[in-house]
Protein backbone atom coordinates (compact mmCIF):
# COMPACT_ATOMS: atom_id res chain seq x y z
CA UNK A 1 0.00 0.00 0.00
CA UNK A 2 1.55 3.23 -1.12
CA UNK A 3 -1.05 5.93 -0.49
CA UNK A 4 -1.41 7.92 2.71
CA UNK A 5 -4.49 5.80 3.50
CA UNK A 6 -2.44 2.64 3.02
CA UNK A 7 0.10 3.98 5.50
CA UNK A 8 -2.67 4.85 7.96
CA UNK A 9 -4.16 1.36 7.59
CA UNK A 10 -0.71 -0.13 8.26
CA UNK A 11 -0.36 2.05 11.38
CA UNK A 12 2.63 3.96 9.97
CA UNK A 13 0.79 7.30 10.12
CA UNK A 14 -1.28 8.15 13.21
CA UNK A 15 -5.01 8.75 12.94
CA UNK A 16 -8.01 9.14 15.19
CA UNK A 17 -9.92 5.91 14.64
CA UNK A 18 -13.69 5.92 14.85
CA UNK A 19 -14.29 2.35 13.66
CA UNK A 20 -12.19 -0.59 12.57
CA UNK A 21 -12.71 -4.19 11.60
CA UNK A 22 -10.88 -6.59 9.28
CA UNK A 23 -12.16 -4.86 6.13
CA UNK A 24 -12.84 -1.20 6.96
CA UNK A 25 -11.21 1.68 8.81
CA UNK A 26 -13.03 4.91 9.68
CA UNK A 27 -11.07 7.93 10.92
CA UNK A 28 -11.60 11.59 11.73
CA UNK A 29 -10.75 13.84 8.77
CA UNK A 30 -7.77 16.08 9.63
CA UNK A 31 -9.33 18.98 7.67
CA UNK A 32 -13.03 18.75 8.58
CA UNK A 33 -15.56 20.79 6.62
CA UNK A 34 -18.34 20.20 9.17
CA UNK A 35 -18.66 19.23 12.84
CA UNK A 36 -18.84 15.57 11.76
CA UNK A 37 -16.37 14.62 9.02
CA UNK A 38 -15.33 10.98 9.02
CA UNK A 39 -13.39 9.14 6.32
CA UNK A 40 -14.52 5.56 5.72
CA UNK A 41 -11.81 3.56 3.97
CA UNK A 42 -11.86 -0.03 2.75
CA UNK A 43 -8.65 -1.77 3.76
CA UNK A 44 -8.56 -3.42 0.36
CA UNK A 45 -6.57 -1.18 -1.96
CA UNK A 46 -9.14 -0.09 -4.57
CA UNK A 47 -8.02 3.02 -6.50
CA UNK A 48 -11.46 4.54 -7.16
CA UNK A 49 -15.16 3.80 -7.49
CA UNK A 50 -14.81 2.71 -11.13
CA UNK A 51 -12.40 0.01 -9.98
CA UNK A 52 -14.97 -1.66 -7.71
CA UNK A 53 -15.59 -5.13 -9.06
CA UNK A 54 -18.50 -7.52 -8.51
CA UNK A 55 -16.48 -9.23 -5.79
CA UNK A 56 -16.32 -5.89 -3.90
CA UNK A 57 -20.08 -5.28 -3.74
CA UNK A 58 -20.49 -6.91 -0.30
CA UNK A 59 -17.73 -4.59 0.96
CA UNK A 60 -19.60 -1.56 -0.44
CA UNK A 61 -22.72 -2.66 1.42
CA UNK A 62 -20.72 -3.01 4.60
CA UNK A 63 -19.34 0.52 4.13
CA UNK A 64 -22.92 1.83 3.97
CA UNK A 65 -23.74 -0.05 7.19
CA UNK A 66 -20.67 1.44 8.89
CA UNK A 67 -21.71 4.92 7.70
CA UNK A 68 -25.21 4.42 9.13
CA UNK A 69 -23.78 3.27 12.46
CA UNK A 70 -21.34 6.19 12.73
CA UNK A 71 -24.04 8.69 11.70
CA UNK A 72 -26.29 7.40 14.46
CA UNK A 73 -23.47 7.44 17.03
CA UNK A 74 -22.64 11.04 16.08
CA UNK A 75 -26.28 12.15 16.10
CA UNK A 76 -26.48 13.09 12.42
CA UNK A 77 -28.58 10.19 11.12
CA UNK A 78 -31.31 12.66 10.11
CA UNK A 79 -29.07 14.60 7.74
CA UNK A 80 -25.62 13.81 6.39
CA UNK A 81 -23.77 13.32 3.12
CA UNK A 82 -21.83 10.22 2.15
CA UNK A 83 -19.54 11.29 -0.67
CA UNK A 84 -16.75 9.91 -2.82
CA UNK A 85 -14.85 11.45 -5.70
CA UNK A 86 -14.00 9.29 -8.70
CA UNK A 87 -10.89 10.39 -10.56
CA UNK A 88 -8.84 13.56 -10.72
CA UNK A 89 -11.53 15.30 -12.76
CA UNK A 90 -13.89 14.95 -9.79
CA UNK A 91 -11.35 16.16 -7.27
CA UNK A 92 -9.97 12.81 -6.11
CA UNK A 93 -6.46 13.40 -4.77
CA UNK A 94 -5.78 10.13 -2.93
CA UNK A 95 -6.21 7.13 -5.19
CA UNK A 96 -7.45 4.72 -2.54
CA UNK A 97 -11.24 4.58 -2.51
CA UNK A 98 -12.71 6.39 0.50
CA UNK A 99 -15.99 7.95 1.52
CA UNK A 100 -16.59 11.18 3.42
CA UNK A 101 -19.38 11.11 5.99
CA UNK A 102 -20.18 14.79 6.54
CA UNK A 103 -22.84 16.21 8.83
CA UNK A 104 -23.63 18.34 11.84
CA UNK A 105 -24.55 21.50 9.92
CA UNK A 106 -26.85 22.43 7.06
CA UNK A 107 -25.17 21.23 3.89
CA UNK A 108 -25.65 22.67 0.41
CA UNK A 109 -24.34 21.33 -2.89
Beta bridge partners of 101: 38, 82
How many helices (H) and strands (E) would you count in the chain?
Answer: 2, 5
Q: Is 108 a catalytic residue?
A: no
Alpha-carbon Rg for the chain in angstroms: 13
Which one is catalytic: 37, 98, 108, 109? 98
User: What is the rounded distance in angstroms from the CA atom of residue 87 to the CA atom of residue 8?
Assistant: 21
Residue 6's SS3 state is helix
- Alpha carbon 64 to its chain's center: 10
Residues with a catalytic annotation lie at 98
Amino acid sequence: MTTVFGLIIQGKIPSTKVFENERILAIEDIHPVAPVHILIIPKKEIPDLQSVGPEDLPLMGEIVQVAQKIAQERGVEGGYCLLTNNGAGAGQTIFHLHFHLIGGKVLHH
